[in-house]
Amino acid sequence: MTPLGCFSSLLDWRWITAALVFLVTYLLGRFYYCVSKYPKGPFPLPLVGNLLALRHVTDLHAKSTELSKIYGDVFTLWMAHRPMVMLNSYAVIREALVDRRHDFAGRFPTRTGALQNEGNHDIVFEDYNPYWRALRKVVVRYAASESLEHHCADIVDTFADSLGEGPQMMDFRKPIFSMFCKVTGAAVYGTRLHDSYIESLEDINRRFYQISPNGLPSDIAPFLAILYYKKEKKMAALFRELRELIQSLFSKAEATYVPGSTDNFTHAMLAAREEAIKEDRADAQYLTKPNMILATMNIFNAGTNTSTATFQWMLLRIAKEHGIQERIQKEIEDNIGSVPPAYGDREKLPFTEACLLETLRMHPAAPLGLPHNTTTDTRVGKWDVPKDTGLWYNIYKVHRDPQQWENPEEFRPERFLDPVTGKVSSDIGPLITFGQGTRCCPGEKLAHMDMFYLLVRVMQRLTVSVPSGVSDVNWNGKGSSVFLHPARQNFVFTRRS
């Protein structure tokens, strides 16, 4: 090669190197300029954001609480290239979800949601749009039934009668999950689920947790879908299996539908669609059968998985603290005796109701809620938040904030009782287990009714205790950064005479 050729080749490499340096510098500058638009938080790296720092974190709500001491109540975590604003006080959560409810009403888009819905629409993963509004309107109107009291009593009685004489030790989670499946199945589909259905649901839940307890990696970094192809394929297969099971329940309920009937939630949705079509309303186009099936699945899952977790935490408290159990049982005996509870009995059983509220405070099933997304450029606190920004709100921290609650680490149901009247106070404080604002859980009333009916009937029929020789229960939550439920452990159930 001639000297001129060597010089030309060297010049080419210098141009290439200079171009690469310029490109990298430009991309870095662009990334950190973007970072500067968001509330300050841990320093993110290009491409991976804060993922390396979070790779060993199992309780994101606890980590968020820790970071809030450094960065304040509002800060940003970068999940690869996607910003997630973390809210860690009741004031900023209320500002975002109530005062600016429409600005923060979007749903953070995830691969998990896309796999579940397969192009259809629900109320959990759906963004803030006409589909979501039409479905939620029906759910809010019909997702409650005060006629469940007899179902709850029968289900608890069946379990209690199946126990032998004397103390019976078992994993307490299984019968509780079965109870909620049967109660919620009756409310949503008008049928009490067979044990085979419940076993299938348990198996599906177990496999979901084994595959990915925190959702899919591609939920926060879409490019990871390529690396985790097998995991996503397994998840998609599980969602298909779950949809087929739910579709069979929906079809059975649909077959018994009489025009105008609202005997159960499925019938109510079918009646709402009929009404919308008859009145030629625009929302009729959104109430398609696939969408209604997904909406019933949303309510059913909320009524089983999250309510089950809360009720299990309640039983942990009852088993450990016999004084609370005895006080609940005495209140029930003094006010309604052995008669199955009715919805109106809540006012007669304020301490029992307060125990449920205190459990919801100390053990929120979803400690960070479900992630929202901003629908427009907005603000929270002193910070600007751009459109299409993800948001988590730290329910766990708010519920254990000493500025909001006296001795927040103590289980004290009395905090919800009026010291003068002894009734449940009209102001129960910043209890946000079911969310706030536009996207608060539409099944809150149904869940609360189910838990009340079941708790009262369980206390009428059974005494719950820890096994002999066990000094304490396992308070460590098992689950993920998304849902938190008690670890597996055995309890003793004894029928009351």
Query: Which pLDDT belongs to residue 300?
Result: 92
Residue 9 placed within a domain: no
**Are the beta carbons of 452 and 341 closer than 8 angstroms?**
yes
What does the CA dihedral 217, 218, 222, 228 come to, rounded to 10 degrees? 90
Question: The dihedral of CA 188, 348, 150, 259: what is its sign?
Answer: negative
Point out the residues of the chain with pLDDT beneath 50. Answer: 4, 7
Alpha helices in 363-402 (DSSP H): 395-399
Residues 6+ apart with CB under 8 A from 101: 437, 438
Chain segment 139-169, per-residue pLDDT in tens? 888 776 667 888 899 999 999 999 988 899 9
d(CA 422, CA 167): 34
DSSP 331-355: HHHHHTTTSPP-GGGGGG-HHHHHH
Query: Which pLDDT belongs to residue 262?
Result: 83
Residue 26 placed within a domain: no
Whole-number CA gyration radius for the chain: 26
| 79 phi and psi angles, rounded to 5 deg | -90, 90
Residue 11 placed within a domain: no
d(CA 388, CA 381): 18
Residue 280 placed within a domain: yes
Residues 6+ apart with CB under 8 A from 391: 84, 85, 86, 87, 96, 104, 108, 371, 372, 373, 374, 385
Residue 77 placed within a domain: yes
> Which residues fall in the annotated binding site?
441
Query: Which two three-digit tokens encode residue 183?
Result: 């109660």
Query: Which pLDDT belongs to residue 6?
Result: 56
pTM of the model: 0.91
Residues 6+ apart with CB under 8 A from 399: 361, 362, 364, 405, 408, 430, 431, 432, 433
Residue 7 placed within a domain: no
Bridge partners, residue 383, by sequence: 380
Q: Which domain holds residue 465?
A: 37-495
Residue 32 placed within a domain: no
* Number of domains, the chain: 1
> Which residues fall in the annotated binding site for heme?
441
Separation in Å, CA 213 to CA 112, 391, 481, 483: 12, 20, 8, 8
CATH of the domain at 175: 1.10.630.10
Give the containing element (helix H, strand E) for 155. helix 149-162
Residues 6+ apart with CB under 8 A from 294: 116, 117, 120, 121, 122, 243
Residue 25 placed within a domain: no
